């Protein structure tokens, strides 16, 4: 009868290698004979799980099984390697690689002192605070900053070790990158702990970095602050964080922006807010006045009947929108300044105006 390896592991046919491995480990722990002594059904189930995993985890065998329903070199039922009792005496797992059975048995019985493989790791990100002027935030800035960070050791190129006469073979595995471990009667191959599978001897510890592969360096770097940043903005500088251990890539530098206040302008997102005083005649009759902008002077029209606190808009005169090609607007908020009451002529005109203008602006408040 055709064997359904996917059903054996309880996974779908589109399962990834990680999902296959996860399902295998879960079932192998559940049905392992050492955890179920004397249970023949568990022992048989364990062998089925091993057989299914050995096929599905191998891309070539999996492809053949998916296409034909069997694997050409898999032994007929009953002729494969056979364990004797619950200890699986003489069972050799070396043929199954270094990332399946080895990982399972190391989790089950312990690593036996083996250090975990140390591959390249990404370096840490660094953070830097920068205070810039209001107009620098609006227009952008190119500047240099002094930064202290970890870089790859030039003496050992980040490996932490140096070779007196060039790289040599690993003395532990003889250059194969694999070692064989024995757990009772079981034997399997695993990555060499001394060279991490490279087959190359580590050499002597680097004196400059004391084996870390990294060293501290203070340097001046050029950074570009884009136009339109504001308080709280973060600017990313790729690759200017700490270098990664074991030859890994460097992290990034993140610059936190603080913007100094301006004497006239205030930011509202990409818009610039400016408060401008106007006279009573200008508010009543209307006028054209000059106002400052970040690009110089501009003329704005005050409509007749303008109220205090009203905002007028100068389009495309604000700050650039970060990452875009447009600009915000300048919002001109007018404040009506009353004339001096001490002037007799002004006072007389105001009294005449009061006699002519009888409307009560507080009528809607319904004050009784």
The predicted pLDDT at position 258 comes to 96
In DSSP terms, which residues pair with 334 in a beta bridge? 276
**Interatomic CA distance for residues 244 and 126, integer angstroms:** 12
Q: Give DSSP secondary structure letters for 261-273.
A: --SSEEEETTEEE
The predicted pLDDT at position 141 comes to 93
The first and second tokens of residue 146, run together, are: 């002094």
Residue pair 119/43 in contact (Cβ under 8 Å)? The answer is no
Do the strands 126-132 and 253-259 form a parallel or antiparallel pair, or are they unpaired?
A: parallel
DSSP reduced 3-state for 197: coil
**Interatomic CA distance for residues 298 and 70, integer angstroms:** 82
Using CB atoms within 10 Å of the CB of residue 4, give its burial: 0 to 12 exposed, 13 to 18 middle, 19+ buried.
exposed
The predicted pLDDT at position 191 comes to 78
Residue pair 203/162 in contact (Cβ under 8 Å)? The answer is yes
**Interatomic CA distance for residues 271 and 274, integer angstroms:** 10
The predicted pLDDT at position 93 comes to 47
Please name the helix (run of DSSP H) or strand (run of DSSP E) that holds residue 352, with its range, or none.
helix 344-356
**Interatomic CA distance for residues 287 and 7, integer angstroms:** 84
Q: Vertex 182, ends 177 and 184: CA angle to 5°?
A: 170
Question: What are the Cα distances from residue 218, in Å, to 142, 145, 146, 148, 273?
Answer: 20, 10, 7, 4, 41
Per-residue pLDDT tens digits for 52-108: 999 999 888 888 888 777 775 444 444 344 333 334 444 444 444 444 444 554 444
Q: What is the pTM of this model?
A: 0.57
Regions of the chain with pLDDT less than 50: 1, 73-102, 105-117
**Interatomic CA distance for residues 331 and 189, integer angstroms:** 73
**Interatomic CA distance for residues 313 and 310, integer angstroms:** 10
Q: Rounded to the nearest 5°, which phi and psi values hold at 31?
A: -105, 5
């Amino acid at each position: 009868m055709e064997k359904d390896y996917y059903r054996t592991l309880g996974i779908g046919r589109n399962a990834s290698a990680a999902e296959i491995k996860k399902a295998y480990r879960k079932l192998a722990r559940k049905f392992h004979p050492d955890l179920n002594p004397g249970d023949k059904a568990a022992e048989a189930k364990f062998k089925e799980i091993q057989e299914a995993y050995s096929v599905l985890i191998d891309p070539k065998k999996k492809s053949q099984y998916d296409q034909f329903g069997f694997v050409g070199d898999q032994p007929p039922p009953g002729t494969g390697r056979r364990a004797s009792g619950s200890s699986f005496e003489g069972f050799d797992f070396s043929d199954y690689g270094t990332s399946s059975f080895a990982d399972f048995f190391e989790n089950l019985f312990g690593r036996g002192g083996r250090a975990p493989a140390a591959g390249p790791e990404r370096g840490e990100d660094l953070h830097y605070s920068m205070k810039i002027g209001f107009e620098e935030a609006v227009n952008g800035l190119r500047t240099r900053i002094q930064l202290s960070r970890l870089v790859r050791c030039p003496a050992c190129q980040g490996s932490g070790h140096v070779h007196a006469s060039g790289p040599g073979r690993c003395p532990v595995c003889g250059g194969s990158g694999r070692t064989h471990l024995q757990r009772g009667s079981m034997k399997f191959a695993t990555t060499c702990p001394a060279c991490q599978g490279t087959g190359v001897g580590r050499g002597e510890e680097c004196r400059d970095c004391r084996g870390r592969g990294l060293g501290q360096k203070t340097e001046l770097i050029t950074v570009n602050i884009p136009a339109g940043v504001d308080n709280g903005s973060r600017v990313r500088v790729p690759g200017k964080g700490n270098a990664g251990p074991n030859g890994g890539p460097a992290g990034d530098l993140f610059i936190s922006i603080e913007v100094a206040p301006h004497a006239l302008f205030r930011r509202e997102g990409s818009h610039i807010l400016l408060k401008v005083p106007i006279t009573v005649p200008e508010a009543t009759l209307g006028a054209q006045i000059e106002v400052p902008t970040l690009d110089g002077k501009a003329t704005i029209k005050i409509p007749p009947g303008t109220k205090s606190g009203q905002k007028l808009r100068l389009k495309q005169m604000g700050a650039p929108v970060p990452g875009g090609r447009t600009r915000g607007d300048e919002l001109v908020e007018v404040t009506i300044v009353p004339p001096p009451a001490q002037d007799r002529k002004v006072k007389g005109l105001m009294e005449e105006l009061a006699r002519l203008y009888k409307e009560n602006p507080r009528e809607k408040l319904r004050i009784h």
